[in-house]
Amino acid sequence: MNTIGSWQNHAISLGLPPNTPVKKQIDEFIRRWDNFPVTPERRANPAWAENTVDGDDINLFDILPLFRLNDGDGGFYLDKACVVSRDPLDKDNFGKQNVGIYRMEVKGKRKLGLQPVPMHDIALHLHKAEERGEDLPIAITFGNDPIITLMGATPLKYDQSEYEMAGALRESPYPIATAPLTGFDVPWGSEVILEGVIEGRKREIEGPFGEFTGHYSGGRNMTVVRIDKVSYSQQTDF
The CA distances from residue 109 to 101, 105, 112, 116, 229, in Å, are: 21, 12, 9, 21, 12
Counting Cβ atoms within 10 Å, is residue 139 exposed (0-12), middle (13-18) or buried (19+)? buried
Residue 127 DSSP code: H
d(CA 112, CA 81): 13
Amino acid residing at 122 = I
Nearest to 208, CA basis, from 113, 88, 82: 113
Please name the residue ranges forming H helices in 6-133.
Answer: 7-13, 22-33, 60-63, 121-131
CB 180 within 8 A of CB 231: yes
Please confirm, yes or no, whether 50 is among the known catalytic residues: no
User: Which residues are known to be catalytic?
Assistant: 211
